[in-house]
């Protein structure tokens, strides 16, 4: 596969996917799944979150999973942390990069992390100060959640999202991403918001996190690519769909995203066949769990050559 | 709803959808389904095809369906015809507009219509001459099928697709569309091909017909919008998915397409709630048939105002 990549596909299935499934994937299978994803060429994986294991027992083994994952050569091991305490646990476990969500919606912020957006921003500031005291390099990405709308509040003001993004960039994070936590985003809005994000925070402009709840996920990716976004979160098998709404998948599906990018001529460094094969680990760890993704069902087109396997121009 | 529309959503479920389902929808239900779609604001519906009823018994009632549909006020009634004989039957039934496929892939052309692309083009020429002899106005759209690749031949040469498009425009059709019959297209290719189509045939440049086989359908719509395409085929419920491949849907889903467009600020004149309600007619006519579409499952976002209901700027 190509050593150079044009787009970073950042797998969040072991975190965003598994936290949305009521059952718990056994730790050993989770570790093998992450290894299989890395083996397929994924270079960034959000392997879990350091949150209350009472609230999310699916994430109780994140420390162990981080410890196993950092032994995989070339893999950037990420974990979500909602606050300073989570960051301390993540750092102790050896996590390479922290993802910190700050929800633009007050109602969602209260429900999700039990604090206001302003208090969440204070935690980001504290974590950035904490980093300054560390001997080793630690990555920090902040993500503005519910940036495109909220199931509780409805529309979210774009100016407010941009103000949060600016404050986060000033707080000292490496990058600020935008997340469509609720599957509300449309391509026109995505292009406008990411274009504006780049204008507001420049080189700190981060990745896109889309959900496919209304089937618009890959359409939003096309719009984000147009706005210059180069990092996309996705989840193998679209893991995390609500079992009571068969069509309402969670994150965009990694397999379909990689096919989209590679067919457009954008190198991801990911081997689609090996990626599809890794779905077997989800089936092993969560038997019967519905998996999404149409490339895995339909197969690759006849004569298809992914960008990562084309000779350099 | 808005009288003005920015984008024409052209429903092909009663033709492309139903022809892919082995069971036959009763004629009376089909007529009520088409009326419900028109009632939701769809202005163009491909109600069937004039083909051999031995080969496609699902389409045997197309004459009756056309006769019922042309009584719906404001509806443009389309039917697919593969050859001159089909065109004569369609005209006799009172069809407003004919869609004639010409497959760029020789293997697909032989399998689909039993003739070469050149012979299919000759039929288009004959149908255009036939139109010249008619008293009433008849619309004719030709569509280059397998324009983005073929399951039998693999990649299809873009120059050949454009050559067919030019010949069809010169033959006297009203417009030439491009169809991704096989679900092979990617957004980069879609933007390039439709941009080129406009350059090659100018005002005769027609609509886009995408399948969602690999989940790329709406992503391709975003790219086609960028290239100036203003007419899109789609199928209610993504009808036509292969029952042996649960994720491999047929056409792009009308409900999700309308949501995409309306959320982007593009007026379709279609009422999404009434459109979703029309799914009940498919369930009535084809009980148990799997339906796709994520907006129907997930519902509309809180506070969502479709473009067609916004005050004029």
Instruction: Give the C-alpha separation, B53 to B59, whole Å.
Output: 6
Q: What is the pLDDT of residues A89-123, one digit of tens each?
A: 999 999 999 999 999 999 999 998 999 999 999 99
What pLDDT, on a 0 to 100 scale, did the predictor assign at position A241?
60
What pLDDT, on a 0 to 100 scale, did the predictor assign at position B176?
98
SS3 state of residue B181: coil
CB contact under 8 A, B253 and A215: yes
Q: Spell out which residues of chain A touch residue B226, defining contact as CB-CB under 8 Å.
A: 226
Least confident among A267-271, B101-105, B116-120, B240-244: B240-244
Phi, psi of A284 (to 5 degrees): -75, -40
CB contact under 8 A, B302 and A152: yes
The answer to whether the beta carbons of residues B183 and A263 sit under 8 Å apart is no
CB contact under 8 A, B294 and A189: no
What is the chain A residue with the closest CA to B222?
A219
What pLDDT, on a 0 to 100 scale, did the predictor assign at position A313?
58
Q: What is the pLDDT of residues A247-262, one digit of tens each?
A: 456 899 999 999 999 9
CB contact under 8 A, B297 and A256: no
pLDDT over threshold 60, residue B181:
yes
The burial class, CB within 10 Å (0-12 / 13-18 / 19+), for A87 is buried
Distance from CA of A241 to the nearest CA of B (A): 11
Q: Any idea what DSSP says for residue B78?
A: E
Distance from CA of A250 to the nearest CA of B (A): 11
Instruction: Give the C-alpha separation, A192 to A159, whole Å.
Output: 12
Q: Spell out which residues of chain A touch residue B155, defining contact as CB-CB under 8 Å.
A: 303
CB contact under 8 A, B298 and A245: yes
* pLDDT range class, residue A42, cuts 50, 70, 90: very high
Other CB atoms within a 10 A radius of the CB of residue A125 amount to 16
Instruction: Give the C-alpha separation, B278 to B276, whole Å.
Output: 5
Angle at A183 between CA A300 and CA A23, to 5 degrees: 80
pLDDT over threshold 50, residue A245:
no
What pLDDT, on a 0 to 100 scale, did the predictor assign at position A32?
98
- CA distance readout (Å), A201 to A7, A8, A9, A104, A231: 20, 20, 22, 17, 16
Which residue, B254, B198, B257, is CA-closest to B11?
B254
User: Could you say which of A56, A242, A277, A300 is catalytic?
Assistant: A242
The answer to whether the beta carbons of residues B254 and B16 sit under 8 Å apart is no
What pLDDT, on a 0 to 100 scale, did the predictor assign at position B241?
60
Q: Spell out which residues of chain B touch residue A223, defining contact as CB-CB under 8 Å.
A: 222
Instruction: Give the C-alpha separation, A288 to A51, whole Å.
Output: 27
What pLDDT, on a 0 to 100 scale, did the predictor assign at position A248?
53
* pLDDT range class, residue B245, cuts 50, 70, 90: very low
Q: Any idea what DSSP says for residue B297?
A: H
Q: What is the pLDDT of residues B33-43, one digit of tens each?
A: 999 999 999 99
Q: Spell out which residues of chain B touch residue A183, defining contact as CB-CB under 8 Å.
A: 298, 301
Which runs of consecutive H residues, i.e. helices, occur in chain A?
18-19, 27-39, 62-69, 84-93, 106-113, 117-132, 158-171, 187-201, 217-226, 254-263, 272-277, 279-285, 294-298
CB contact under 8 A, B187 and A149: no
What pLDDT, on a 0 to 100 scale, did the predictor assign at position B240?
77
What is the chain A residue with the closest CA to B153?
A302
Specify the CATH architecture of the domain B8-309. Alpha-Beta Barrel (3.20)
Here the ipTM equals 0.94
pLDDT over threshold 90, residue A312:
no
Specify the CATH architecture of the domain A96-216+223-229. Alpha-Beta Barrel (3.20)
- Tokens of residue A186, six digits: 């449309």
Which residues neighbour B129 within 8 Å (Cβ) at sequence distance 6 or greater? B172
Distance from CA of B74 to the nearest CA of A (A): 30
Other CB atoms within a 10 A radius of the CB of residue A246 amount to 15
Q: Spell out which residues of chain A touch residue B292, defining contact as CB-CB under 8 Å.
A: 247
Which residues neighbour A53 within 8 Å (Cβ) at sequence distance 6 or greater? A59, A60
Q: Once rounded to an integer, what is the mean pLDDT over residues B25-29? A: 98
- Tokens of residue A135, six digits: 């001997």
Other CB atoms within a 10 A radius of the CB of residue B139 amount to 17
What pLDDT, on a 0 to 100 scale, did the predictor assign at position A243?
47
- According to DSSP, the residues that pair with B261 across neighbouring strands are none
Percentage of residues in chain B having pLDDT higher than 90:
90
Instruction: Give the C-alpha separation, A101 to A83, whole Å.
Output: 9
Q: What is the pLDDT of residues B74-116, one digit of tens each?
A: 999 999 999 999 999 999 999 999 999 999 999 999 998 999 9
pLDDT over threshold 90, residue A3:
no
Q: What is the pLDDT of residues B148-164, one digit of tens each?
A: 999 999 999 999 999 99
Q: Once rounded to an integer, what is the mean pLDDT over residues B26-55? A: 97
Instruction: Give the C-alpha separation, A176 to A193, whole Å.
Output: 12
What pLDDT, on a 0 to 100 scale, did the predictor assign at position B250?
87
**CATH 3.20.20.70 residue ranges in chain A?**
1-81+235-298, 96-216+223-229
SS3 state of residue B251: strand
CB contact under 8 A, A303 and B214: no
What is the chain A residue with the closest CA to B293?
A247
Q: Once rounded to an integer, what is the mean pLDDT over residues A265-284? A: 98
User: Could you say which of B107, B242, B266, B300 is catalytic?
Assistant: B242
What pLDDT, on a 0 to 100 scale, did the predictor assign at position B242?
52
Sign of CA dihedral A214, A219, A225, A230: positive
Phi, psi of A137 (to 5 degrees): -70, 135
What is the chain A residue with the closest CA to B192?
A264
Q: CB contacts < 8 Å between A and B, how many?
A: 138
Q: Once rounded to an integer, what is the mean pLDDT over residues B288-294? A: 91
CB contact under 8 A, A294 and B155: no
Q: Spell out which residues of chain B touch residue A290, defining contact as CB-CB under 8 Å.
A: none
Q: What is the pLDDT of residues B231-240, one digit of tens each?
A: 999 999 999 7
Q: What is the pLDDT of residues A61-98, one digit of tens each?
A: 999 999 999 999 999 999 999 999 999 999 999 999 99
CATH code at A1-81+235-298: 3.20.20.70
- Tokens of residue A286, six digits: 């969560």
Other CB atoms within a 10 A radius of the CB of residue B113 amount to 21
User: Radius of gyration over alpha carbons of chain A, in Å?
Assistant: 18
What pLDDT, on a 0 to 100 scale, did the predictor assign at position B172?
97
Distance from CA of B1 to the nearest CA of A (A): 21
The answer to whether B150 is a known catalytic residue is no
- Tokens of residue A291, six digits: 């998996």
Q: Spell out which residues of chain B touch residue A301, defining contact as CB-CB under 8 Å.
A: 149, 151, 154, 182-184, 214
Distance from CA of B232 to the nearest CA of A (A): 15
């Amino acid at each position: 596969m190509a050593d150079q990549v044009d787009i970073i596909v950042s797998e969040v299935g072991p975190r965003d996917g598994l936290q949305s499934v009521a059952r718990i994937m056994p730790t050993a299978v989770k570790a093998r799944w992450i290894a299989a994803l890395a083996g397929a060429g994924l270079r960034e994986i959000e392997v879990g979150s350091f949150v209350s294991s009472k609230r999310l027992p699916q994430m109780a083994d994140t420390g162990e999973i981080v410890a196993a994952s950092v032994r995989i050569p070339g893999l950037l091991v990420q974990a979500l942390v909602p606050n300073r305490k989570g960051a301390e646990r993540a750092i102790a476990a050896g996590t390479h990069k922290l993802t910190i969500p700050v929800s633009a919606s007050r109602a969602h912020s209260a429900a999700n992390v039990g604090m206001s957006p302003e208090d969440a921003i204070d935690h980001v500031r504290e974590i950035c100060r904490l980093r300054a005291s560390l001997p080793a390099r630690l990555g920090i990405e902040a993500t503005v959640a519910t940036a495109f709308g909220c199931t509780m509040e409805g529309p979210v003001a774009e100016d407010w999202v941009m103000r949060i993004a600016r404050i986060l960039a000033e707080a000292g994070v490496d990058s600020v991403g935008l997340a469509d936590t609720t599957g509300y985003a449309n391509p026109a809005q995505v292009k406008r918001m990411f274009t504006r994000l780049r204008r507001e925070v420049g080189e700190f402009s981060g990745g896109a996190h889309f959900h496919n709840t209304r089937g618009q996920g890959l359409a939003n990716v096309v719009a984000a690519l147009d706005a210059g976004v180069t990092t996309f979160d996705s989840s193998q098998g679209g893991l995390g769909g609500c079992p009571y709404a068969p069509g309402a998948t969670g994150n965009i599906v990694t397999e379909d995203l990689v096919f989209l990018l590679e067919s457009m001529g954008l190198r991801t460094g990911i081997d689609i066949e090996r990626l599809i094969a890794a779905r077997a680990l989800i089936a092993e760890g969560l038997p019967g769990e519905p998996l999404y993704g149409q490339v895995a069902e339909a197969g690759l087109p006849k004569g298809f050559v992914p960008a990562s396997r084309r000779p350099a121009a």
